[in-house]
Structure 1
Amino acid sequence: MSKLLRTINSRTAIALVVGTVIGSGVFMKPSLMLGQLGSPWLLLSVWVVAGLVTIFGALSNAEVASLYPETGGPFIFFQKMYGKTFAFLYGWAAFAVINTAGNASIAYICAEYTNYFIALPRFDAITEKAIRFYIPFIGYVFPLANAGVKALTILLILILTAINYRTVHGGGALQRFLTALKALAILLLIGGIFTSGKGSFTHLAQLVDRNFEMSYIGAYMAALSGAFWAYDGWNNINTVAGEIKDPQRNIPKSLLLGLGACMVIYLLLNLAYIYVLPAEQMKQSSFVASDTAEMVWGAIGGSLITLMVIFSTFGSLNANIFATARLTFSLGEESKWFSHAAKVQPDYKTPGNALWLNAIWASAMVISGSFDMLTDMLIFVSWFFYGMGGLGLFILRWKKPDLPRVYKVPGYPIIPAIFVLFTALYLVTTLYTDIANYRAGNVPIINSLLGVLITLVGLPVYWLSRR
């Protein structure tokens, strides 16, 4: 069988980390998170806590990635840790929930921000709710809701899939350009806001009413879910490990530098929002980045920042499409039902079938869900597997102590233990909060349980595909 080639250098690897991580979350979630927490100071603390926990998890995964630098990343890791059944379940979850829902939600925000310039068509409220599907014990989905945004979302997915289908070099070069453009625009935004004098740090002391009546621990975990979404995508660098030059050196380097830069940028961006917008106004904002820029520079500033968000999410979508297809490619090598996805495109040397399979399923996710549903569902499932990856580091240290480790996670066993324990607390609290909100009528669907349900479908798929 043809193999994917090691053509990704360290600059592209770092661009992939930053490009996949900085996408839509930091431009959409802060308003919702402030409404959950009620305090700007708590909002800033969430970004720091989520960043540190993510870095702890990334450093733990980097040790495993340096041991097995192969295309498919976590799919290969879980085979070594827990066996083929669990690895397939992860591969299925990545295809059916984590990666495709992630791509769908990023593209959704890119299309949503287009509404700032062009009013995309949508049905009236009655028509949007005319067709609905009920999932037992989970809730309702409305496929006709926000139809214009969904149509543009699907078009964006198809365009970038076509580009990555034809070339690895072209996709990597596009990613480096988009990441550089994104970083420059964000730095100009932050610098321009703090030097404008059109704000006040007294906004940090303002409190707002919280959206839901939940405990402070539940609210903090709900806000962490939004921050984790904004940091999500860091694990994608492991899925292209088989195409990275000198992976033992470049994977840990790209994760540490990339995530460190993202945490600083997120903290400064949120501080900039708070500096310009009074807390109550920020809570009510649908386009917090654009509204912030408009307060400082007027309508032109709002338009420029909206363009920045569109380019940012476009770049993040490209990086995610590029990386996530590699995991579907590896899944195809282990399952006869997905064997078509494991074929390398002979002319372009890309995982062509895996790319298009992901695009089709991501488009179906777009039609069925909303932005918040997609992100909450995929974050819950992905963090379960992130936690299992951190736990698996202890298993590999015990099962294979003699393997040569070019890179070892610093602070072992404390750093990976903190990551695993925090992940367990986050999952339990999130599940409890989601169920409580659904029973109180605050949300139409239990997003975390929907993700779990789709993931568990992978078990009969695995058993039947092996017969």
Structure 2
Amino acid sequence: MVNSKNNQLKKSLGLSFNIAVLIGGTIGVGILRTPGTIAEMLNNYWLIIFSWIFGGLFILIGANSYAELATMLPKAGGSYNYIKRAFGNYAGFLSGWFDYITNAIPPAFYCIVISEYIIILFPALSNYATIIAISLLLAFVVLHLSGVKNGSAIQQITSLLKVICFVALVAACFIYSDLQLPSVEKDNSVFQIGLLFGFFKSLQLIIGTYNGWNSVCFFAEENDDPGKNIPKSLFSGVLLVIAIYVLLNVAFFYVLSVESISKSSLPAADVANIIFGKNGGIIVTVISIFSLISILNAFMMIPPRILYGLSRDGFFIEKGTMVNKGGTPIIALLVSSLFSLFLICIGSFEVLFSFAAFTSIIVWGLAYFSLLKLRVTEPDLPRPYRSVWYPWTAIIAIITSIALLAGFIYSDSKSFIIIVLITIISYPFFLLLNRKRK
């Protein structure tokens, strides 16, 4: 395997990048779209707000565990490093590729959606959607080939603009004075099977919307002080995302009723049309584009780090560890970008995208188990940060992960079957790679 100094990632990233990549890699257009679907399934103001808070608390508890894991093993690729260390090569291989697939699909999706929003602003470009999407992908490939510092700068600028846009939207909703907060509707059907199904489907959407909260951990190896920066950025970034998500939902319900939002495919646009008049849709489109550029930049950086780590451990080609002068894992970036290009051209990645929450929960759950096991088997490993209220927070995270996984299986059995098939098929590939490694 390639282990020369020329193929080491550079320690050029700091706290500001960490917070920016967490916010940029998490907040997307999902929060502008999902409130309508969730309102339709739950139809209860307090249950909807509780669901967003519950999802946020689950992520916050997870951040507590990941802060210890990422500072204990600050390696490129994030979760699979901890799982491999705790449970062996196959567990690392499988979780690494699950994590890679989950994070390699979004760039194609975001390129296509950005092109669609650009066409909304400029209808004359309607015949060029695919060309715009491919051009965006190529532009970001060139940006990241130029080096990590340029990608980091773009991430910090776009994430800041994104936060400003969302805070402004929340403020505009509360400043709007023609309507009062709608009366809270009482719903006694909380324990009905139909609503239970809707609750788990809603949580699946919410977890998907929060997905990206652990983005910081993929870049731990490139951080100039992971022991201090990773815990700070995880907690501050996650708390900021939770605040924006919950406040945005409350703000939407301040302007429109639960019923109105439940009938909307893009609640943010409906709210903006009421507040800003006929320009509301344009404002939301611009916010969406800023939001998507930020998240696209983050997801152009994440998959190559996972692939770099997998390559270094012999779970992908040796050349996957090649790093250019700017600190970019160049082969890993090009392979991931070719995959994105393929998905843009065929446009049939939605089935894969739908089970991102599934694979995320599996990987996160295994990572929480890793924390428990490594505390027992390797108590002397340096731990710059130690999980607060250990082991109870890790146990709560594991139990919640299992409960959510069971709920997702109940509400989305097709995605579960796909994951089982991928797991079965993966083992022969692992054996083949393992033989080559030896």
Q: Distance in 2 between matches of 1:379 and 1:60?
A: 19
The superposition leaves residues 79-132 of structure 1 with CA deviations (integer Å, 9 ceiling, x where unpaired) of: 21111111111222222x21112333444443443453345999xxxxxxxxxx
Q: Which aligned pairs between 1:121-200 and structure 2 lie closer than 5 A?
A: 152-200=132-180
Structure 1 pair 89–41 and aligned structure 2 pair: CA distance change class (3 A): same
The superposition leaves residues 334-389 of structure 1 with CA deviations (integer Å, 9 ceiling, x where unpaired) of: 237422222112x4331111112112223444535365x44431110111010010
Q: Distance in 2 between matches of 1:403 and 1:62?
A: 14
- Counterpart residue number, 1:99: 103
Asked if structure 1 preserves the Cα contact closer than 8 Å seen for 2:79 and 2:364, the reply is no
Shift in Å at residue 180 of structure 1? 0.8
Pick from 392, 398, 401 the counterpart of residue 420 of structure 1: 398
Shift in Å at residue 413 of structure 1? 1.4
Q: Distance in 2 between matches of 1:375 and 1:276?
A: 31
Per the normalisation by structure 1, the TM-score is 0.85
Structure 1 pair 58–106 and aligned structure 2 pair: CA distance change class (3 A): farther
State the one-letter code of the partner of 2:394. P
Q: Distance in 2 between matches of 1:119 and 1:451?
A: 39
Q: Distance in 1 between matches of 2:22 and 2:62?
A: 14
The superposition leaves residues 409-458 of structure 1 with CA deviations (integer Å, 9 ceiling, x where unpaired) of: 111111111111011011111112223xxxxxxxxxx2343244335433
- Counterpart residue number, 2:430: 462
Q: Which runs of 5+ in 2 are unaligned?
A: none
The superposition leaves residues 52-92 of structure 1 with CA deviations (integer Å, 9 ceiling, x where unpaired) of: 00111111011011111122222321221111111111222
Per the normalisation by structure 2, the TM-score is 0.91
- Counterpart residue number, 1:38: 43
Structure 1 pair 192–220 and aligned structure 2 pair: CA distance change class (3 A): same
Q: Distance in 1 between matches of 2:315 and 2:198?
A: 44
Q: After TM superposition, where is structure 1 displaced by more than 6 Å over at least 4 residues in a row?
A: none
The superposition leaves residues 260-297 of structure 1 with CA deviations (integer Å, 9 ceiling, x where unpaired) of: 00000001111111122232331222222122111111
Q: Does 1:449 align with 2:427?
A: no
Asked if structure 1 preserves the Cα contact closer than 8 Å seen for 2:75 and 2:218, the reply is yes
- Counterpart residue number, 1:54: 59
- Counterpart residue number, 2:378: 400
Q: Which runs of 5+ in 1 are unaligned?
A: 123-146, 436-445
Q: Distance in 2 between matches of 1:337 and 1:394?
A: 28
Shift in Å at residue 230 of structure 1? 1.2
Structure 1 pair 49–291 and aligned structure 2 pair: CA distance change class (3 A): same
Asked if structure 1 preserves the Cα contact closer than 8 Å seen for 2:311 and 2:317, the reply is yes
Q: Distance in 2 between matches of 1:302 and 1:41?
A: 28
Asked if structure 2 preserves the Cα contact closer than 8 Å seen for 1:293 and 1:301, the reply is yes
Q: Distance in 1 between matches of 2:418 and 2:129?
A: 23
Q: Distance in 2 between matches of 1:120 and 1:34?
A: 35
Asked if structure 1 preserves the Cα contact closer than 8 Å seen for 2:252 and 2:271, the reply is yes
Asked if structure 2 preserves the Cα contact closer than 8 Å seen for 1:13 and 1:237, the reply is yes
Q: Distance in 1 between matches of 2:306 and 2:234?
A: 18
Q: Which aligned pairs between 1:2-401 and structure 2 lie closer than 5 A?
A: 2=6, 3-95=8-100, 97-118=101-122, 152-202=132-182, 204-205=184-185, 215-335=194-314, 337-345=316-324, 347-366=325-344, 367-369=346-348, 371=350, 373-401=351-379
How many pairs does the alignment contain? 427
Q: Distance in 1 between matches of 2:90 and 2:179?
A: 55
